[in-house]
């Protein structure tokens, strides 16, 4: 949920102003992960190797990144801090927060400190579940706490470990040994970056559960013109000038370098003297604080980041959500590229999913298929369930990740479990994955993030290739998820002769889908006009059925997330079992009634709502306006596609409606209240 960032320049001269601005810009790239408070830490003076540096400077502020920027420069102007002072080596850390423990306030912002002298500083993404026990133990040892956060125990524990080692006569305890000992006491999920005045010009990063990447920009020794050093072996202490970056995700790295390392759970990354050492944390070893242990280092290779800076800019659009809604024709094309095979009239039409092909026989023999997801990902899976059941002939179950874990629901060895997550780092979904692996099920991942935890830990999977999505409310990832799961259904059912014609019809419709999506985006102004009529409403209902029950849920979720209006997606078949009591002439109700096998039933729903003077907004297929409501209600007409792909087309006007409602109501569409993009805490 939070975003953490670190920057270390080695034999690359950078002034303090440049370092501060680089940290700020890193946080701007990560701000969608949390934006209720932020902070940075930099060195107060130039320090030589092995020297005890002056207390690092720490700046923290409530509110978004720009509040922090303003407060830092106000504080700098009130002091004699020289922004032009140059550092050939410097380590800085930064954090943008989504509050879990303690209200948004400077005292609860990160970096959190060990003491008034800032001996140890930490930025943290995640939740420490045993912090209360650690806090009470440290209080008994004389430590006082300033914040309500779970994070503050970490730097204080680091200081406790360091001081105990020195008291025991160990004057050579290393930074990594201190951090390893701290990790042995921590329970929960975390990604951490440590900075210490006792270890100047050195950063330590470690993780368990929460995402963290290392970026490396290395310059040729003989020149400083920005030419990359092309050694793809893992970076060593070779003396070359370099810049090293740590980040919660690639968005903050791509403008600096494409050479990255995805840090694995249990790894401790020590950045020092221009080199990087990776240690593997082994829980349970070296418990005695008087004899701190150092595990052997491991070798890793850098990979190339498949992302361009243009993908994370707004371009001609005012907001990321707006941009991402309008990118859907292109993102759907990319999702399907190279995966649909269509020859001439005599040639076979099929789907090729390289990540699944070796496991299709196992999937076809499954007792059942279980979709697991949260929020929008769950809704996308729900939209795909009917076609997967139809083409595979296998029962398909739906599970919300947190509920599956709460119930400890049975999972069998002959189950296929499909984990759906845009980020691939969703905490509840990851925990459900661990549970399914323990029970021996075949685990399939569907994510938008190459190298994510779900992508790495499942047996097989499919990347949706929707491109970077920065708006907190998911739009293009949702439609790409539906398309990928439809293709998964086609691949699983490819050995069934009786469904050949149905499958080929779906493939033809998939190929035309980007064009249909482009057509429906022409409703933008119409949706803006509809939003104006709803701007003062307090509630909105959406009724869907069959494939479009998921559309009702997702449309309501989008309105709820960004426009901060109560909205509820309801299965139309349940209308008479309670929701009908809410209907009157004032409450706006969206009914999704496009052409599919549920069309006649939705016509009946419309008539029942009209009989009770319901204020209807009907989404129907182009040309059906007169048939569905006879001109007595507002109509949204959308292009017709094959039934299992109709939710892709139908959701776009509702995304536009949510976007315009939010803008007209004066809310921040990209950073909705209390939410963050990647939910990496339970």
Q: What is the predicted pLDDT for the residue at 616? A: 95
Torsion of CA 237, 242, 246, 250, to 10 degrees: -120
Tokens of 268: 């401790």
- Segments of 553-674 assigned E as strands: 566-571, 588-593, 615-621, 634-638
592: helix, coil or strand?
strand
Q: How many CB atoms sit inside 10 A of residue 402's CB?
A: 15
Helix-strand-coil percent breakdown of the chain, rounded to 5?
A: 40, 25, 35
Sheet hosting strand 297-298, strand order edge to edge: 112-113, 120-128, 188-196, 202-208, 267-272, 275-280, 297-298
CA neighbor of 490 nearest in space, from 477, 478, 499? 499
Q: What is the predicted pLDDT for the residue at 231? A: 45
10-residue stretch averages of pLDDT, the chain, 682 residues long: 92 95 95 88 74 83 93 92 94 91 90 95 92 95 94 96 87 91 92 96 92 88 42 62 93 91 92 93 57 72 78 87 96 95 69 93 97 97 98 97 95 97 90 96 94 91 93 95 98 93 95 97 97 96 96 97 96 93 94 93 92 93 87 91 97 98 95 75 60
Matching residue, tokens 């810049």: 243
Q: Give CA–CA dist 83/27, Å, rounded.
A: 19
- φ, ψ dihedrals at 189, nearest 5°: -115, 140
Matching residue, tokens 């994070």: 151
CA neighbor of 149 nearest in space, from 187, 100, 182, 111? 100
Q: Give CA–CA dist 330/324, Å, rounded.
A: 10
Q: Give CA–CA dist 479/465, Å, rounded.
A: 11
CA neighbor of 183 nearest in space, from 284, 76, 86? 284
Sheet hosting strand 634-638, strand order edge to edge: 566-571, 539-544, 588-593, 615-621, 634-638
Matching residue, tokens 């221009």: 274
Residue 284: C-alpha distances to residues 151, 287, 305, 457 (Å): 22, 6, 35, 23
Indicate if the alpha-carbon torsion angle 106, 108, 113, 116 is positive or negative.
positive
Tokens of 340: 């649909």
Q: Give CA–CA dist 504/77, Å, rounded.
A: 68
Task: Establish how many alpha carbons lie within 13 A of residue 587's alpha carbon, considering only the half-sphere containing its beta carbon.
Answer: 20
Q: What is the predicted pLDDT for the residue at 261? A: 92
Bridge-based pairing state of the strands 37-42 and 275-280: unpaired
C-beta separation of 179 from 122 below 8 A: no
Q: How many CB atoms sit inside 10 A of residue 496's CB?
A: 14
Residues in the chain, overall count: 682
Indicate if the alpha-carbon torsion angle 73, 75, 76, 78 is positive or negative.
positive
C-beta separation of 646 from 634 below 8 A: no
Residue 123: C-alpha distances to residues 40, 63, 152, 333, 566 (Å): 9, 17, 10, 39, 35
Matching residue, tokens 């990832």: 477
Can you count the helices (H) and strands (E) in the chain?
Answer: 19, 27
The predicted model scores a pTM of 0.84
Residues 6+ apart with CB under 8 A from 145: 135, 138, 139, 152, 156
Start-to-end CA distance of the chain, whole Å, equals 10
Active-site residues, by number, are 2
C-beta separation of 646 from 3 below 8 A: no
């Amino acid at each position: 949920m939070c975003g953490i960032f670190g920057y270390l320049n080695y034999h690359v001269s950078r002034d303090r102003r440049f370092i501060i601005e680089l940290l700020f810009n890193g946080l701007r790239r990560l701000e969608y992960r949390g934006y209720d408070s932020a902070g940075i830490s930099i060195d107060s003076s130039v320090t030589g190797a092995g020297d005890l540096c002056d207390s690092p400077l720490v700046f923290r502020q409530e509110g978004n990144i720009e509040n922090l920027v303003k407060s830092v420069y106000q504080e700098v102007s009130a002091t004699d801090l020289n922004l032009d002072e140059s550092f050939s080596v410097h380590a800085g850390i930064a954090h943008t927060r989504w509050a879990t423990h303690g209200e948004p306030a400077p005292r609860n912002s990160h970096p959190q400190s060990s003491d008034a002298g800032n001996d140890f500083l930490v930025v943290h993404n995640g939740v420490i579940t045993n912090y209360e026990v650690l806090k009470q133990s440290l209080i008994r040892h004389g430590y006082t706490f300033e914040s309500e956060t779970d994070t503050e125990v970490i730097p204080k524990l680091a200081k406790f470990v360091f001081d105990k080692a020195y008291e025991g006569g160990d004057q050579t305890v290393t930074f990594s040994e201190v951090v390893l000992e701290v990790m042995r006491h921590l329970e929960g999920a975390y990604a951490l970056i440590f900075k210490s005045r006792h270890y100047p010009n050195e950063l330590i990063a470690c993780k368990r559960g929460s995402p963290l990447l290392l970026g490396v920009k290395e310059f040729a020794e003989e020149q400083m013109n920005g030419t990359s050093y092309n050694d793809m072996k893992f970076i060593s202490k070779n003396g070359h000038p370099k810049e090293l970056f740590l980040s919660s995700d690639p968005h903050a790295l791509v403008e600096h370098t494409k050479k990255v390392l995805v840090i694995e759970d249990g790894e401790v990354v020590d950045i020092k003297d221009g080199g990087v050492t990776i240690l593997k944390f082994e829980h349970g070893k070296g418990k005695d604080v008087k004899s701190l242990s150092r595990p052997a280092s491991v070798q890793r290779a850098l990979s190339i980041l498949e992302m361009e800076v243009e993908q994370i800019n707004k371009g001609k659009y005012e907001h990321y959500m707006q941009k991402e809604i309008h990118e859907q024709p292109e993102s759907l094309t990319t999702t399907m590229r190279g995966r649909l095979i269509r020859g001439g009239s005599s040639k076979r039409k099929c789907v090729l999913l390289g990540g699944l092909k070796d496991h299709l026989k196992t999937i076809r023999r499954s007792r059942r298929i279980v979709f697991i997801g949260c929020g929008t990902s769950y809704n996308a899976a729900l939209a795909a369930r009917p076609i997967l059941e139809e083409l595979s002939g296998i029962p398909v179950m739906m599970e919300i990740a947190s509920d599956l874990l709460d119930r400890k629901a049975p999972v069998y060895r002959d189950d296929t479990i499909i984990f759906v997550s845009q980020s691939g780092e969703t905490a509840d979904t990851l925990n459900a994955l661990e549970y399914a692996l323990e029970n021996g099920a075949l685990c399939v991942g569907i994510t938008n993030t190459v190298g994510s935890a779900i992508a790495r830990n499942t047996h097989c999977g499919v990347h949706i290739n929707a491109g970077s999505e920065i708006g907190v409310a998911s739009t293009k990832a949702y439609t790409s998820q539906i398309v990928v799961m439809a293709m998964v259904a086609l691949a699983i059912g490819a050995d069934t002769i009786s469904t050949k014609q149905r499958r080929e019809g779906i493939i033809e419709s998939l190929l035309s889908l980007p064009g249909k999506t482009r057509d429906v985006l022409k409703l933008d102004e119409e949706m803006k006009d509809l939003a104006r009529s709803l701007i003062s409403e307090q509630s909105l209902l959406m009724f869907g059925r069959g494939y479009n029950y998921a559309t009702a849920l997702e449309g309501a979720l989008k309105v709820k997330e960004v426009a901060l209006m109560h909205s509820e997606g309801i299965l139309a078949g349940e209308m008479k079992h309670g929701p009908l009591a809410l209907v009157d002439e004032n409450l706006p109700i969206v009914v999704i009634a496009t052409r599919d096998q549920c069309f006649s039933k939705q016509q009946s729903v419309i008539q029942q709502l009209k009989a009770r003077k319901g204020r209807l907004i009907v989404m129907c297929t182009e040309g059906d306006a007169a048939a569905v409501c006879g001109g007595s209600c507002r109509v949204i007409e959308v292009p017709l596609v094959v039934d299992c792909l109709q939710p892709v087309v139908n959701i776009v006007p509702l995304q536009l409606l949510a976007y315009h409602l939010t803008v007209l109501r004066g809310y921040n569409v990209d950073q909705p209240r209390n939410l963050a993009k990647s939910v990496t805490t339970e």
